[in-house]
Amino acid sequence: MIVTALIRGATGGPAALASEIGAAGSSVGEGHADQSALAPNRRRPTPGRACSDEWPLPRAIGISAALPTSLLPAPDTVARLEHAYTLRDELDPAWATRPLALVRREGRPTLLMEDPGGEVLAGLIGRPWEVAAFLRVAIGLAAALGRLRARGLVHKAIRPANVLVNGATGHVSLTGFGITSRLPREPQPPEPREVIPGALAYVAPEQTGRMNRSVDHRSDLYALGVTLYEMLTGALPFAASDPMEWAHCHIARQPLPPADRRTDLSLAVSAIIMKLLAKTAEERYQTAAGLEGDLQRCVADWESHGTIGAFPMGQNDTPDRLLIPEKLYGRASEIEAALAEANGKVSGRSGAAARLSLPASTLEYKIRTLKIRKEQYKVP
């Protein structure tokens, strides 16, 4: 696990004073552990504990640090820090927390980064956002993703813990670049090592490794959709208790539209979120610029009329390059046969549960696995 904290030093340099924030850190990349670490005039915490009122910190100098929580970090954890540091020349402080140095602190590798100010989005989620504030931050997020895409990068870990926001201005900075990819399109293995429990609620269907589809910038748009859904409703679109169930949710279940959870929400805004949460990348927004354009349209309506009317979405959503759809064509009979066989296995095993004396949890796991695999063979 990697945790991020502000280093608030005096003239002695950025390493003169450090605040280590305990166990609530990011599991992927360098997400901030606690929004209290970003507020000025906080107190120095006891190691392994949250901030207390024992030691005043001077004014922030704009440096943050990402470091492993373990004294003996796993090789993958160190590799994520090193990878994030290699991106320092490709990240812009206008929309990202840019790495400054990779050093060793108390025997652990520590990534020093510029701190743009603001608060961690994860600390601001829990109840529905007011529409105007939501639209400001949503536009900032879309703009940041567009600039990330323009640099040829796919973040792969977009979620509230990896976003810093200024609620008043809507300015957004991305962080958590430990697994960011330079490949425009990246095949995903059946069991991706990069997806771990802290981020499972935000991964795109193709990131589960169970769809035989590649990960690209549209995967970030799906994760952004989950984040925006949570901002609008105060809840995630899905609830699950284990990795297999999370994979099934992202691949097969349809979320309840935000407008059904919140009656005062415009249908147009709800439709934008649902478009981001489409199961296949071809059905989502194809560019962050297209999303940003629709959000700007919502802001214009809201400021002019106090309401947001329906409008055709994605009118300016023009892809900047050709991406061949990863769909199956001309295999209808074979796919129908595969689905029929899968359906027979599911119904047959569930009917034989008593005779085989299988534990209920084992049987449910096997049936759920078969159902998820069925989704891989569906075609439009």
Strand partners, 233: none
Q: What is the pLDDT of residues 35-70, one digit of tens each?
A: 333 333 333 332 222 222 222 223 333 566 666 666
Residues 249-289 have pLDDT tens digits of: 999 999 999 999 999 999 999 999 999 999 999 999 999 99
36 in Cβ contact with 42 (< 8 Å)? yes
pLDDT at 32: 42
Model pLDDT, residue 345: 60
Beta bridge pairs of residue 65: 5, 112
pTM of the model: 0.73
Range 119-142 burial, b when 16+ CB lie within 10 A, else e:
bbbbbbbeebbebeebbbbbbbbb
| Structural domain count of the chain | 3
- Tell whether 124 and 271 lie within a shared domain: yes
Confidence of residue 340 (pLDDT cuts 50, 70, 90): confident
Torsion angle of C-alpha atoms 32, 37, 39, 41, degrees rounded to 10: -160
Domain-terminating residue out of 287, 305, 323: 305
- DSSP track, 363-376: HHHHHHHHHHHHHT
Which spans in 55-211 are helix H?
75-86, 131-150
Span of 187-201, 202-216, 341-355 with lowest mean pLDDT: 341-355
The confidence score (pLDDT) of residue 337 equals 80
Same domain for 183 and 281?
Answer: yes
185 and 200 housed in the same domain: yes
Domain span including residue 56: 2-114
Instruction: Let me know if residue 322 belongs to a domain.
Output: no
| Across 82-105, average pLDDT | 91
* Within a domain: 320: no
CA distance 158 to 223: 6
Q: Are residues 137 and 211 in the same domain?
A: yes
Is residue 257, in this structure, part of any structural domain at all? yes
